[in-house]
Amino acid sequence: MRFDLITIFPEFFSGPLDHGIVRRAREAGIIEVRAQDLREFTKDRHRTVDDRPFGGGEGMVLKPEPLFEAVESLLGHGVGDASKPGAVDSKTAIVLMSAAGKLFNQETARRYAQLERVILICGRYEGVDERVAEYLATEELSIGDFVLSGGELPAALVIDAVARLLPGALGNEASSQNESFSALPSAGPSFRVSTASRVSNHTLLDFPHYTRPAEFRGWAVPSVLIGGNHAEVANWRRAAALEKTLRNRPDLLAKE
């Protein structure tokens, strides 16, 4: 099985993945792990991967162009555009690690263990242009209701969780069948903490982020974010955050 990591810090993975079960699985040829430097897919002399968010706000947002091109380079083919979306092989997952994603759990790990390839996109800064989540990634995943500096640690956790489920990785196949989460719990996660959101007093996921270009492969940034009306931007962000929470984490709304 192959894992590809798209990151601005490829050297990060030289430590966490060089120990224990993951190291043994790599040495045995059970898994292959490659880290891809996102900056190799930039076009300017400063190797810029981020830009200011449309609609204003703090922080920077990862641009869509280098991420699309990095994934396409790894796949060996294009992923299409708005007029003609491409398809991804059913044995491949393209995963955006994001605090606003669906919660990663053992069931997801087992599903990934049946695949041939997992491409993990490591977010950074304030967020990732929403078109990456909507039109490039096959899934958007979070490892918990908290915020980290980037997606590298979550990606390493996903690799560890999946690799140990592969035949031969543990040595004793019964080990993965008699441990925590070996059977899906009937009452949901065993613990849960509050999620942080700037738009909803800790009850919603973050709203979608967009940055330049305003139109990319036929997918346009919502016009409200470019209009300059801050009240309309605030209303749109709350509505978009609510929609994303309903889609990815409806359990958070059930707490109210």
Q: Report how far residue 154's alpha carbon sits from residue 124's, in angstroms, rounded to the nearest whole number.
A: 12
What count of Cα atoms within 13 Å lies in the side-chain half-sphere of residue 219? 21
Q: What is the pLDDT of residues 110-156, one digit of tens each?
A: 999 999 999 999 999 889 999 999 999 999 999 999 999 999 999 99
Q: Report how far residue 88's alpha carbon sits from residue 94's, in angstroms, rounded to the nearest whole number.
A: 9
Q: What is the pLDDT of residues 212-222, one digit of tens each?
A: 999 999 999 99
pLDDT of res. 182: 55
Q: 199 pLDDT exceeds 80? A: no
What count of Cα atoms within 13 Å lies in the side-chain half-sphere of residue 6? 29
Q: Report how far residue 74's alpha carbon sits from residue 36's, in angstroms, rounded to the nearest whole number.
A: 9
CA–CA–CA angle 10, 14, 19 (5° rounding) = 145
Helical (H) or strand (E) element with 40:
none
In DSSP terms, which residues pair with 93 in a beta bridge? 118
